[in-house]
Structure 1
Amino acid sequence: MPPPEPADTRTQYGALCWRAGREGIEVLLITSRDTGRWVIPKGWPIDGLSPEASAAREAWEEAGVEGQADTHCLGLYSYDKGLGRGEGPKRQTVPCVVAVYPLQVSALAGSFPEEKQRRRKWFRPRKAARKVAEPELQALLANLDSRAVFPGKTAGGA
């Protein structure tokens, strides 16, 4: 099968959910529904919402995150999205590029739409980088610097 053409690539919006911890920035990872791997909340564009608002909606549905998404994109990463149910060679995949927006978490809800399908856990950025599978997302997390990534906000006073 030939590699997909660039026109076949789809866009998703992701939320890098963060908070100020005692030792600096912490990021929230969730498990995917199908494989249980660690990921960030992400999803398809939502009609009528900006990219960062779409990312915030996904963060609510997938992780119960309440907070404010920033308008600047932190970076991009790519992955192959499995479509449909099941495993094996018949499962269709589509290449996706995820635009990642920082979202400062003000609260985590105890009840949210996908709470029974996912786990969520806070990590320091370098440890989070080791948990995710996508190389570009690993690099984004490993190089997270609160002053550069979150202008006007610092780990100690976010």
Structure 2
Amino acid sequence: MSLSKKIAIQTATEDDPVIQLAALCWRGPKKDREVLLVTSSSGRWILPKGWPMADCTHREAALIEAWEEGGVKRGRAERKHIGSFRAMKELRNGAMIPALVKVFAVEVKKMSKDYPEAERRDRRWVSPKKAASLVTEPGLKAILKDF
């Protein structure tokens, strides 16, 4: 973990949360659109998400998370995030810190069965409405309902 990330985690407050980046992966035409959910380490349904990365834009980092956590081999991400929501991020040591999660829409072109976190995560394609009923964060529910 980089020093700047450690400092951000240690000093995160509601007024100055850590930043995380999420990929709202989707496929299909608007009327039949599906979005990709993956399981978190605790088994909750979430979007693929992670930390900003050195030498990557936020958009690029969201695409990397889509690959690592969801198996999105090829996708096209919007240049700007489509929304954001606040959440509490649980760290490996059990500590909870405030996070602002920026969500990037990613149109999925190709998926892979073999991806870095395939053994650790389940994935599921569902309608945005169904996804909103499966996730727990209110802000993410709102983004999914509007998608």
Check whether TM > 0.5.
Answer: yes
Q: Look up the SS of the partner of 2:115 in the other structure.
A: coil
Counterpart of 2:97 in structure 1 is 94
Superposed CA RMSD in Å reads 1.6
Q: Look up the SS of the partner of 2:37 in the other structure.
A: strand
Q: Which runs of 5+ in 2 are unaligned?
A: 1-12
Letter in 2 for 1:143: D
Q: Which has the higher helix share?
A: 2
Letter in 1 for 2:79: T
Aligned ranges 1:1-158 → 2 under 5 Å: 4-7=13-16, 9-20=17-28, 23-33=31-41, 35-65=42-72, 66-85=74-93, 91-144=94-147
Q: Look up the SS of the partner of 1:60 in the other structure.
A: helix
Change (3 A) 1:125 1:82: same
Letter in 1 for 2:103: V
The separation in 2 between residues aligned to 1:59 and 1:12, in whole angstroms, is 13
Counterpart of 1:147 in structure 2 is none
Q: Look up the SS of the partner of 1:127 in the other structure.
A: helix
The separation in 1 between residues aligned to 2:92 and 2:55, in whole angstroms, is 26
Counterpart of 1:88 in structure 2 is none
The worse-fitting range, judged by mean Cα deviation, of 105-114 and 21-30 is: 21-30
* Contact 2:14-2:98 at 8 Å conserved across structures: no
After the TM superposition, which segments of 4 or more aligned residues of structure 1 sit over 6 Å from their partners? none
User: Identity across aligned pairs (percent)?
Assistant: 40
The separation in 2 between residues aligned to 1:96 and 1:72, in whole angstroms, is 19
The structure that has the greater radius of gyration is 1
Cα shift readout 1:98-119 (whole Å, capped 9, x = no counterpart): 0000000011111011000000
Deviation, 1:49, is 0.7
Q: Which runs of 5+ in 1 are unaligned?
A: 86-90, 145-158
Aligned positions, number: 135
Q: Look up the SS of the partner of 1:141 in the other structure.
A: helix
